[in-house]
Amino acid sequence: MEWKMGPIEDALIEDTYPHYSDVCNHCKHFRRIYGSDQGICAAFPDRIPDEIWLGRNDHKQPYPGDHGILFEERKPK
């Protein structure tokens, strides 16, 4: 299957970065960094990898550097 660019990748080419992640924003480990375009989580305390942030990887399987912490659905309060 050939991978095609979409709106997120087009935005990256224009030097902007998505403020929302279809994966991370729904994970209980995600924390938004005030004033930042991205966030951090328990798995990636320094920076969430682009592959996960951009939704190319759902992080339900181990990923290098994730400290054994995987995606877990955030439960509504």
pLDDT tens track for 37-68? 667 899 999 889 999 999 999 999 999 999 99
Smallest Cα–Cα separation from 30: which of 77, 74, 75, 76? 74
- The answer to whether residues 18 and 11 touch, using CB atoms and an 8 Å cutoff, is yes
Tell me if the pTM is above 0.75. no
Give the pLDDT confidence score for residue 38 in this predicted structure. 66
Query: Per the structure block, which two tokens stand in for 55?
Result: 């939704």
Report the mean per-residue pLDDT for the chain: 81
